[in-house]
Amino acid sequence: MLNNIGLPGLLLIAVVVLVLFGRGKISSLMGEVGKGITAFKKGVKDGTKEIEDDVDADAVARDVTPSETPEKDKA
With helix as H, strand as E and coil as C, how does 13-59 read?
A: HHHHHHHHHCHHHHHHHHHHHHHHHHHHHHHHHHHHHHHHHHHHHHH
Boundaries of every domain in the chain: 23-61
Who wins on pLDDT, 18 or 2? 18
**pLDDT, the chain, mean:** 81
Over pLDDT 90: what percentage of the chain? 27
* 13 Cβ neighbours under 8 A, 6+ residues apart: 5
Residue 48 has pLDDT above 60, yes or no: yes
How many percent of the chain have pLDDT more than 70? 76
Q: How many CA atoms lie within 13 A of 52 on its CB side?
A: 6
Predicted pLDDT of residue 71: 64
